[in-house]
Every structure is written in structure tokens, then in C-alpha cells.
Amino acid sequence: MTSADKQEGYRRVEEGIGAYLEECTKGVDAMATLVAFLKEQLGHILWVGFYLAEEDGSLRVGPYQGPPATPLLPAGKGVCGAAFRSGETLIVPDVHAFPGHIACDCRSKSEIVLPFRSKGRLVGVLDVDSALPAAFDETDRLHLEGLLRRISGPRG
């Protein structure tokens, strides 16, 4: 996917999601709306969804689009656990080279995981997988971080 294709895809997501977010009143409906738009508009995405923190630090699958997901990720494990623990976005060009990667789908080759905050508190991560190697870059990071800020307000 070219950078121009990505930019156009994110433009469509950002344009389309606005009206829907006005109707969202709970965190889960905003999350579900966002992942549906991302999966529909961005051709390089295999799987996209939220993992939400449990009291013990594990991450439970939330709204997602794509093939079946691992329901519960152990605390601090895999790319999602590392991003949640650090509170920083992680871009992984080759998931098979990431120590402790949890393989939910053998087709996944690369991943970006972003911390998700609600009302300023870290509550989970947005996980985005691609069947393409090195599919994610700064364009994805900037747009996805902006979209997460749009849904992390008082609805959460």
C-alpha cells in the first residue's frame, strides 16, 4: 500500500467517523465504530481491535473486526502487553522477530499497537495487524493516535 493510498484511507475514516461519533454515548460504541471504519477503509489491515485491561493486568479482547481473536492476553506478554506496559505506541515490522509475540493468526506479519486512554487513564490498547511485512509506519501512528484521541473523551 502506498503512502498516498494510506493517506486517502485515513482521510475517509476521519471524514466518515465524525457523524457516527456524535451518536456514540458509551466507550464501546465509539470503539466498535472506529474499528469498523478502519477495517473497511484501509486495505492493509488484516485485524483491528481493542484489548481492554483487566484488574490483574491481562488484556481482554474488546470490539474488533477480522478473524477470531485470542480472548485473553496474559499481563505484559506479546506486543499488546509491551505497549500497554510502556504506554507507548509500538510499530513491529516483523512480528515473528518480536520476543514473546502471541500469534493469533498465522497470516499476521506486522503490527502496530497503540495505548488507549479514556478520560486520561490507560485502559487498554488498539491492536492493528497486517498480512504484509512492515505495513505500518509514522503515517499510521499519527493518524491512529489522532483517531484514538477523538474517541477517548467523556464517552469512555
Q: Which residue range(s) make up the domain with 93?
A: 3-151
pLDDT tens, residue by residue, 46-60: 999 999 999 999 999
- Burial annotation 54-86 (CB, 10 A radius, 16+ → b, else e): eeeebbebbbbbbeebbeebeeebbbbbbbbee
CATH code where residue 38 lies: 3.30.450.40
Domain count, the chain: 1
Q: In angstroms, rounded to a whole number, what is the distance separating the alpha carbons of residues 42 and 23?
A: 23
Lowest mean pLDDT among 25-29, 76-80, 92-96, 135-139: 25-29
Q: Do the domain assignments include residue 156?
A: no
- Average per-residue pLDDT in the chain? 91
Q: Do the domain assignments include residue 68?
A: yes
* Cβ atoms within 10 Å, residue 14: 15
